[in-house]
Amino acid sequence: MADKELRQTLNLPETEFPMRAGLPKREPEWVKDWLAEDIYGKIRAARSESPSFILHLGPPYANGRFHMGHVLSYVLKDFIVRSKTMQNFNAPFVPGWDCHGLPIEWKVESELREKGKSKDDLSTKELRKLCRDYAGKWVSAQKEDWQRMGCLGDWDEPYLTMNPKNEAGMVRELGRLFNRGYVYKGVKSIMWSTVEETALAEAEIEYHDKESMAIFVAFPVKGTDENVVIWTTTPWTMPANRAVAYGEEVEYSLVEITQAHEKAAANIGAKYWFATELLESATKYCGIEEYAVLKTQKGSAFEGTVLQHPFYDREAPMIEGFHVTVDGGTGFVHIAPAHGAEDFQIGREVGLELECQVLGDGTYSNTVADLSQTDVALAGMDIWKAQKRIIEEMTAQGALLRWYKYSHSYPHSWRSKAPLIFRTTPQWFVAMDNDKNLRADALKEIDNVQWLPAYGRNRIYSMIEGRPDWCISRQRKWGVPITVFVHKHTGEVVNDAALFEHIAALVEAETIDAWDNRIEENRMEELFPAGWLASKGLSLDDLEPQRDILDVWFDSGTTHAHVMRAENERKGKESRFHREDGKRPADVYWEGSDQHRGWFHSSLLESVASYGEAPYETVLTHGFVVDGKGMKMSKSIGNGVEPEQLLKKYGMDIVRLWVAGSDYTEDIRYSDEIMAGISDGYRRFRNTFRYLLGNLSDFDAQTDTVPYADLPELEKWVLARMANVLTEVKEAYDSYTFHKAYRALYNFCATDLSNIYFDIRKDVLYCDAKSGHRRRSVQTVLMALLTEITTHLAPMMPFTTDEVWKERFGEAESVHLALWNDVNPEWQNEAVLEQFTPFWALREQVNLKVEALRSEGDVGSNLDVAVTLPSSAQDMNLPLTELLIVSAVSFSGDVVQAEKASGEKCPRCWSHHETMHATHTDVCQRCGEALDGLKAQGAAA
Output the DSSP codes for 405-460.
EEEEEEEEETTT-PBPEEEEEEEEEE-SSSTT-HHHHHHHHHTTSEEESTHHHHHH
Q: Is the dihedral of CA 347, 352, 355, 356 positive or negative?
A: negative
DSSP symbol at 916: B
| Residue 624 CA from chain centroid, whole number | 8
Beta-bridge partner residues of 227: 220, 272
Of 12 and 534, the one with the shorter C-beta distance to RNA is: 12
Of 236 and 553, the one with the shorter C-beta distance to RNA is: 553
Distance in Å, CB of 807 to RNA, minimum: 15
Of 233 and 847, the one with the shorter C-beta distance to RNA is: 847
Of 94 and 781, the one with the shorter C-beta distance to RNA is: 781
**Directed axis angle between helix 652-660 and helix 798-809, to 10°?**
120
Q: Residue 22 class from Cβ within 10 Å (0-12 exposed, 13-18 middle, 19+ buried)?
A: exposed
Distance in Å, CB of 855 to RNA, minimum: 6
| Residue 271 CA from chain centroid, whole number | 58
**Closest to 784 (Cα-Cα) out of 699, 882, 684:** 699
* Alpha carbons 13 and 762: distance in angstroms, whole number: 10
Of 1 and 350, the one with the shorter C-beta distance to RNA is: 1
Distance in Å, CB of 675 to RNA, minimum: 9
Of 341 and 350, the one with the shorter C-beta distance to RNA is: 341
* Alpha carbons 84 and 89: distance in angstroms, whole number: 5
Distance in Å, CB of 240 to RNA, minimum: 19
Of 562 and 690, the one with the shorter C-beta distance to RNA is: 690
* Alpha carbons 397 and 393: distance in angstroms, whole number: 6
Element (H, E) at 315: strand 315-320
Distance in Å, CB of 83 to RNA, minimum: 18
Output the DSSP codes for 172-228.
HHHHHHHHTT-EEEEEEEEEEETTTTEE--GGGEEEEEEEEEEEEEEEEBTTSSEEE
Bond preceding residue 870 cis, omega within 30 of 0:
no
Of 200 and 255, the one with the shorter C-beta distance to RNA is: 200
Bond preceding residue 317 cis, omega within 30 of 0:
no
**Directed axis angle between helix 23-37 and helix 124-148, to 10°?**
110
* Alpha carbons 58 and 603: distance in angstroms, whole number: 10
Distance in Å, CB of 179 to RNA, minimum: 29
Distance in Å, CB of 206 to RNA, minimum: 9
Of 300 and 747, the one with the shorter C-beta distance to RNA is: 747
> In a 3-state reduction of DSSP, which class is residue 869?
strand
Distance in Å, CB of 355 to RNA, minimum: 23
Of 547 and 843, the one with the shorter C-beta distance to RNA is: 843
Beta-bridge partner residues of 96: 159
Distance in Å, CB of 714 to RNA, minimum: 14
| Residue 697 CA from chain centroid, whole number | 44
DSSP symbol at 326: S
* Alpha carbons 564 and 183: distance in angstroms, whole number: 25
Distance in Å, CB of 788 to RNA, minimum: 17
Distance in Å, CB of 452 to RNA, minimum: 13
The answer for residues whose C-beta is within 8 angstroms of residue 262's C-beta and 6 or more apart is none
| Residue 32 CA from chain centroid, whole number | 27
* Alpha carbons 666 and 328: distance in angstroms, whole number: 38
Of 13 and 136, the one with the shorter C-beta distance to RNA is: 13
Of 213 and 850, the one with the shorter C-beta distance to RNA is: 850
Distance in Å, CB of 70 to RNA, minimum: 15
**Closest to 676 (Cα-Cα) out of 695, 657, 703, 696:** 657
Distance in Å, CB of 628 to RNA, minimum: 6
* Alpha carbons 889 and 716: distance in angstroms, whole number: 23
Of 447 and 844, the one with the shorter C-beta distance to RNA is: 844
Distance in Å, CB of 765 to RNA, minimum: 8
Distance in Å, CB of 343 to RNA, minimum: 12
* Alpha carbons 907 and 1: distance in angstroms, whole number: 9
Of 649 and 669, the one with the shorter C-beta distance to RNA is: 669
Of 776 and 908, the one with the shorter C-beta distance to RNA is: 908
Q: What are phi and psi of 78, to 5 degrees?
A: -65, -35
Distance in Å, CB of 201 to RNA, minimum: 8
* Alpha carbons 30 and 815: distance in angstroms, whole number: 13
The answer for residues whose C-beta is within 8 angstroms of residue 531's C-beta and 6 or more apart is none
Of 227 and 911, the one with the shorter C-beta distance to RNA is: 911
Element (H, E) at 106: helix 102-114
* Alpha carbons 474 and 553: distance in angstroms, whole number: 11
Of 218 and 668, the one with the shorter C-beta distance to RNA is: 668
Distance in Å, CB of 669 to RNA, minimum: 4
Residues 170, 172, 178: CA angle, nearest 5 degrees: 105
Give the up-direction half-sphere exposure of residue 102: CA atoms within 13 A in the CB hemisphere. 25
Distance in Å, CB of 276 to RNA, minimum: 23
Of 364 and 836, the one with the shorter C-beta distance to RNA is: 836
